[in-house]
Structure 1
Amino acid sequence: MSPPQQEPGPQPILGGPTRRRRVGIFLFDQVKTLDFVGPAEVFTEANQRVDGYDVRFFSHDGQDVVTSMGLRVGVDAAAADSGPLDLVIVPGSESAPQVYRPEEVQRAVRLLAARAERVASICSGAFALAVTGLLDGKSATTHWKFTGALATAYPSIDVRPDSIFVRDGDTYSSAGVAAGIDLALAIVEEDHGADVARSIAQLLLVYMRRSGGQSQFSASVRAKPARTSIAKAVADYIHGDPTRAGSLADIAAHANVGVRHLNRVIRDELGMTPIQYVGSLRLDVALGMLEAGDTVGQVAAAAGYASPIAFRRAFAARYNTTPSEYQRRFRTTGVGVAEASLQTRSRLADPIDGAVSPR
């Protein structure tokens, strides 16, 4: 009997020697571990195929750092000893933006960026690029939890709150945590082609292309909670019967106020019109039903939409993905092993998608 065949390991895809690109990852105390480990793993896997990257870790003084999970990590050198770099990556931290304010941290970021051909941030690392002026006049993104703060603190930055990653010239930024893997795959694709990046995505069991933007993961995916009695009355009116086709006058009457007063209160409290608030409440109902496993047709009817088509349009406009795709990702009833396997295999080969702002 012949011995069982083993699946071959990663095979080089591109022939011939390639120039190794020097990647510097800047570490600091309280850095988010997955923010730098994920991208580093992508570049390490790329080396199994094209030997394309020399990944080094730096801190501002060359000393070990302690991550947000208490892991002590050694570095290769101080930032001052980095030498020329093809790419520098600044990961994020839950302690942003305060963690990037010390002068020695900013000095190290500026130094590394000045020596690099490309600069990238992961998650809240965008604040490190922002505070040092590296994002002035550019498009960028960060973790959904920080997009508002970044836009407010640095109005010269075109913050893209729904993007998984953004490239603006030689500057890259990604959303939070696992999105750093998306960005690293995109960089590998840029450097060595889609076949190399796709094979890495398949090995790591991650998507080459995510459906929708990061808004679908945000806590703000739900309707904003009502604080005043008037907003609560509107929420009760819709949640009591989402299929009710009430006019603005009907809603105001239920809240026992005039239409103009209703408009003013909802705008002041929630930053949207009453009609927009009603739409978000209906989508809130829809999200819960999708997560519970109801069909798109059932959800559309129960949430007060004229048709499944109207529901799909409203859903896509808000979340930049389809109801079916959202349900596949977030349903609470689970999916069978065979179904999940087929879904994964069918999506791993998708092309990379990100927001690109040409310069």
Structure 2
Amino acid sequence: MDTVVVGYEDAELLDLSCVTSTLSVAGDVGADPPYAVRLLTPGGRAITCRPGLRLEAHGALEHDTAPIDTLVVVGGLGSEAAARDPVLVAHVRRLARDARRVASVCTGARVLAAAGLLDGRRATTHWRFAADLARAHPEVTVDPAPIFVRDGRIATSAGVTSALDLTLSFVAEDHGPALARRVARSLVTYLQRPGTQAQMSLHVAAPVPADDVVRRVVDHVAGHLDADLGATALAARAGVSERHLARLFRAHLGRTPAEHVRRARTEAAAHLVATTDLPLARVAARCGFRSTETLRTAFIDAYGRTPSEHRRAFAVSAS
């Protein structure tokens, strides 16, 4: 299965390797047919990737006429310049025309947008650059939340390692979820975060709280989702008043203790719904929701769909 990865000067090496290594490992563990991956660059020149490593290309973007199954444009600090390069953009548009599947990683969405490939579509990119993409291309519906978005044959993914999640979804689509799981095990990675999972996960959206009290409470919440995590219980555990704990949470996390607990429980439930066959009642109980109805309400508020819809969507992406 012929896959072309488009690179350019100042591309992000991790964007490239997440795609190429995942497809290479798929061949190692039984993908039939295996993936044939080639890196194309302007003029076929070697490119300097972050953090300063030189990477040789397989060929010139301008001269490639071989069949393409999947076209992937990576992101990086050079993506703005790449999106302003009319020759590069024109050849991405040309290659995309006959490809079965077209994708971008991170700020590679800038190049797809410049080529008009995202017009009228929903797309994502790294959360830090989503507003810029939306301003530059109002014809694109930019959603900064998901780690990847599939809209027809076009897929866009968020920052860097989300390329691994997107590529695993391609492997599952092409060869089935069992082989995708073997690839994930070989890569020693999580299989697989659903595309709807928020980029700004509770666990990575902010640094560890500097305040000792807030940090202790946050750690307790993460490890005891099914316990009593009401304001009174948390304040007692922290040894402060409820009012003072609320002030600390707003100052250090920008949300109340109750909001933090609800978010932690919802994210944990989303993970279980997407990656297990547990009945929703057990998911609700394990994550501290009083009933499946409160779980359902939390999902709609957070993701705009019910737990059942979330599970079905993940099942479709995995199969």
Question: TM-score of the superposition, structure 1-length normalised?
Answer: 0.61
State whether structure 2 residue 85 is matched by structure 1 residue 105.
Answer: no
How far apart, in 2, do the equivalents of 1:140 and 1:77 lie?
28
**How many residues matched?**
248
Q: Deviations over 1:241-281 (max 9, x none)?
A: xxxxxxxxxxxxxxxxxxxxxxxxxxxxxxxxxxxxxxxxx
SS at match of 1:215: coil
Go from structure 1 to structure 2 and tell me whether the alpha carbon gap of 1:36 and 1:354 turns closer, same or farther (over 3 Å shift). farther
Which one-letter code corresponds to 1:197 in the other structure?
A: A
Deviation at 1:109, TM superposition (A): 1.4
Q: Which residue of 1 aligns with 2:41?
A: 59
Deviation at 1:27, TM superposition (A): 1.1
Go from structure 1 to structure 2 and tell me whether the alpha carbon gap of 1:76 and 1:354 turns closer, same or farther (over 3 Å shift). farther
How far apart, in 2, do the equivalents of 1:354 and 1:290 lie?
36
How far apart, in 2, do the equivalents of 1:218 and 1:144 lie?
15
How far apart, in 1, do the equivalents of 2:113 and 2:177 lie?
30
Q: Which residue of 2 aligns with 1:215?
A: 200
8 A Cα contact 2:11 2:79, kept in partner: no
Equivalent residues in 2 for 1:119-138 (5 A)?
119-138=102-121
How far apart, in 2, do the equivalents of 1:132 and 1:84 lie?
20
Which one-letter code corresponds to 2:267 in the other structure?
A: T
Deviation at 1:100, TM superposition (A): 2.0
Equivalent in 216, 219, 240 of residue 293 of structure 1: 219
Q: Which residue of 2 aligns with 1:189?
A: 172
SS at match of 1:50: coil
Q: Which residue of 1 aligns with 2:23?
A: 43
How far apart, in 1, do the equivalents of 2:167 and 2:109 lie?
16
Q: Which residue of 2 aligns with 1:206?
A: 189
How far apart, in 1, do the equivalents of 2:200 and 2:121 lie?
21
Q: Which residue of 2 aligns with 1:5?
A: none
The structure that has the greater radius of gyration is: 1
Go from structure 1 to structure 2 and tell me whether the alpha carbon gap of 1:221 and 1:81 turns closer, same or farther (over 3 Å shift). same
Equivalent in 40, 54, 60 of residue 78 of structure 1: 60
Q: Which residue of 2 aligns with 1:34?
A: 14
Go from structure 1 to structure 2 and tell me whether the alpha carbon gap of 1:181 and 1:352 turns closer, same or farther (over 3 Å shift). farther
Go from structure 1 to structure 2 and tell me whether the alpha carbon gap of 1:148 and 1:315 turns closer, same or farther (over 3 Å shift). farther
Go from structure 1 to structure 2 and tell me whether the alpha carbon gap of 1:112 and 1:285 turns closer, same or farther (over 3 Å shift). farther
How far apart, in 2, do the equivalents of 1:73 and 1:202 lie?
27
SS at match of 1:163: coil
State, as a whole percentage, how many aligned pairs show the same letter.
Answer: 31
SS at match of 1:137: coil
8 A Cα contact 1:167 1:355, kept in partner: no
Deviation at 1:209, TM superposition (A): 2.7
Go from structure 1 to structure 2 and tell me whether the alpha carbon gap of 1:176 and 1:288 turns closer, same or farther (over 3 Å shift). farther
Q: Deviations over 1:300-323 (max 9, x none)?
A: 534449x9877533556xxx6249
Q: Which moved more, 1:185-194 or 1:95-104?
A: 95-104
Equivalent residues in 2 for 1:1-359 (5 A)?
21-48=1-28, 49-51=30-32, 52-79=34-61, 80-210=63-193, 212-216=197-201, 221=206, 288-289=214-215, 293-295=219-221, 300=231, 301-302=234-235, 303-304=245-246, 312-313=261-262, 321-322=267-268, 353=314
8 A Cα contact 2:9 2:78, kept in partner: no
Q: Which residue of 2 aligns with 1:11?
A: none
SS at match of 1:145: helix
8 A Cα contact 2:8 2:78, kept in partner: no
8 A Cα contact 2:26 2:179, kept in partner: yes
8 A Cα contact 1:163 1:354, kept in partner: no
Go from structure 1 to structure 2 and tell me whether the alpha carbon gap of 1:197 and 1:324 turns closer, same or farther (over 3 Å shift). closer
Q: Which moved more, 1:176-185 or 1:113-122?
A: 113-122
Deviation at 1:96, TM superposition (A): 3.4
How far apart, in 1, do the equivalents of 2:87 and 2:14 lie?
23
How far apart, in 2, do the equivalents of 1:78 and 1:150 lie?
27
Deviation at 1:155, TM superposition (A): 1.6
Question: TM-score of the superposition, structure 2-length normalised?
Answer: 0.68
8 A Cα contact 2:69 2:100, kept in partner: yes
SS at match of 1:293: helix
SS at match of 1:199: helix
SS at match of 2:100: strand
